[in-house]
Structure 1
């Protein structure tokens, strides 16, 4: 058991915007604080989501959203939930839209909730591919080379000189909810393919065309941290991603805690320079060709795989934030190196795909020191079976579609 106590008078609220009921990160946050006696609340799509079925959830607020609502409506909805809870709650956003909304409307939400304060413009900039790229260039952080064409003519110019393959992504994080130019991350093999796709992107293509980092010469690394008001990490973890689904381009299916002091220092310095506070989930790719870690994504919110990371004192990033925002000390401790995280519903197809390709991760331990499952927990079994009920029928169809069509376009987390 953890050698600390959380303030049980301060509840937590999982905040999500959009329709993604099978989110193990939200379930993990409910369990992380709920097991220590913190009252937990969550916004859910309906009453039959895995999060809504957790024994550690005091109450779920059914509030289906799309991400297209006017911000004022979302703010008022959150404030109404705050009034129903009846006391200030720690906010835990699980998507970029929620993180941006909270930052940009901090004054309106501050009376009902507890959350880190920061430059209100920063989360939107970090969630934008262009915004993150510009911050990396400004602060000397390696990132894949990228172009941001504003017209078809500029795409033609790019196609004439670019080195293929390249990767196309939506420029702004929220475009996937409106009229996305591409579906997730799209690998483009040559100029003809690029020009053919670009004809459907409209007069102002909202895409980023990015250098492709070949999987044979790369490793995927993860940094999770909680950053305090002075922009210093109260806890910071590093790990390596072994498998993802879709392969090499999507959500983490299996990962390990692996020490990486160089990467930890790089992440700490970048976070300090940009002035971020709160929970972060960073995706890096190590490029063996030039020996550099390149930042792919800076997610200013709780990462779905955050429960991989825990230290010897029992601290994860969600517990660290709750302790800090309630005025308590965050215990220090070494990260539990060798600990493994597995997402049961996607790791099996991911494992088969990786075996077929022959790809391995050199830094992954041969044996795990312990395993955290995303869904199955002996003390909280209902979320697992709820996930199965919702996943199996549409999930099988989706997995087959992704298996046969992943070469051109993949969905999920926007990684190369």
Structure 2
């Protein structure tokens, strides 16, 4: 049997997974395999990614058994298997089991103890402070605090931001009014939400922070790839111009203009190499106009769901991983400086709801110049069924922004 050079094995079926499949296809002409617990619209009816559904894939024991079984089978047909997690839960599982998975797969993941520190926001901010990385002023709330919530002290002026330290375990917490993150205007609101979160099964700490003023266009997102020697090989900065405003989607970018900032690049490069990071990293930060600093909100130990903006800007995400781990070729560190526009939503939605007039005109110029694109509208993978899916997604964005967007919510982002 003829063996092929390598196969990308993606974990997930969302827009992140499709963006990585498209990156692999554009650069190497390969069709990816995606393993997922549920089939999602972005990867349906695709010719560039084959989705296998395993409902128990998010269970740790089942995950290891399923992925190892796939590794044994696929290794007979491919020289190398490249494992790419496309979600928080999968990133944690890959890091936890990377020793076992490495028998069959190339695994570019940080050590598990480091990952646990990075994904826990309370511990992450401690690490930032130790490395001189600016972040919003923070107060940690514990389950013990919630037992006497009326006595909870709030050391910041309002509004304030509130979010869970452990976003993965928070996924299982359900109650009326639940959001990914909160902007709250009074002590009563803070105490009510804290009480609700702990009353519905959350056990980790909460993060209460000062609010960094500014609309969506003050946010920044940075994607990086760090090679097997913990050397940063690529960084690309993006300027989100609009975010999703639906309660469960807060913090997900829908329009990004790629940009650059050498000072930010230098700081993040030093941080990643200093902590011994490996693999893809996705940072969210916000420009604090009060002092001109960029305040870091979080690090996701994977490429972001909107990270196709990096490939669109000319820095194909798959290429850096494959050159490092499949072909073993060192590359010079790339600092993204190309400007392009990535959009997940229809142009009409963006032009109606973007708050910054300056950024609106800049984006329109990029559109006129043809320097824009989307993750899902890939000419080599379009067919009638995918066109209908994308049309339905567009209609939902029109409805969602009409329902949830307001100038108040646009100035309430950056709480991630």
TM class, shorter-length = 0.7 to 0.9
- Please list every run of 5 or more consecutive structure 2 residues that lacks an aligned counterpart in the other structure: none
Match of 2:193 in 1: 197
Matched, 1:83 2:79: no
Secondary structure of the corresponding residue to residue 199 of structure 1? helix
Q: Deviations over 1:176-219 (max 9, x none)?
A: 32226842011100112222323323375742112111115971
Secondary structure of the corresponding residue to residue 264 of structure 2? helix
Alpha carbons 1:184, 1:414 under 8 Å: kept: no
Q: Find the partner of 2:173 among 167, 179, 186.
A: 179
Alpha carbons 2:349, 2:398 under 8 Å: kept: no
Change beyond 3 A, Cα 1:406–1:205: farther
TM (norm. structure 2) is 0.83
May I ask how many residue pairs the two structures share in their alignment? 396
Change beyond 3 A, Cα 1:74–1:339: same
Secondary structure of the corresponding residue to residue 5 of structure 2? coil
Measured in 2, the distance between the counterparts of 1:211 and 1:233 equals 31
Secondary structure of the corresponding residue to residue 215 of structure 1? coil
Measured in 2, the distance between the counterparts of 1:330 and 1:66 equals 34
Q: CA deviation at 1:37?
A: 2.5
Q: Deviations over 1:76-98 (max 9, x none)?
A: 12112223323441111111111
Match of 1:367 in 2: 365
Secondary structure of the corresponding residue to residue 319 of structure 2? helix
Measured in 2, the distance between the counterparts of 1:201 and 1:46 equals 26
Measured in 1, the distance between the counterparts of 2:266 and 2:259 equals 14
Change beyond 3 A, Cα 1:82–1:394: farther
Q: CA deviation at 1:359?
A: 6.6
Greater helix share, structure number: 2
Alpha carbons 1:242, 1:364 under 8 Å: kept: no
Alpha carbons 1:30, 1:51 under 8 Å: kept: no
Q: CA deviation at 1:372?
A: 2.3
Q: Deviations over 1:6-39 (max 9, x none)?
A: x9611101112xxxx5x32211211111232234
Measured in 1, the distance between the counterparts of 2:364 and 2:392 equals 33
Q: CA deviation at 1:325?
A: 0.5
Q: CA deviation at 1:404?
A: 7.6
Measured in 2, the distance between the counterparts of 1:218 and 1:399 equals 17
Match of 1:279 in 2: 280
Change beyond 3 A, Cα 1:395–1:143: same
Q: Deviations over 1:22-74 (max 9, x none)?
A: x32211211111232234111245567332422222x321123584x2x1221
Matched, 1:14 2:15: no
Q: Find the partner of 2:393 among 391, 394, 409.
A: 391
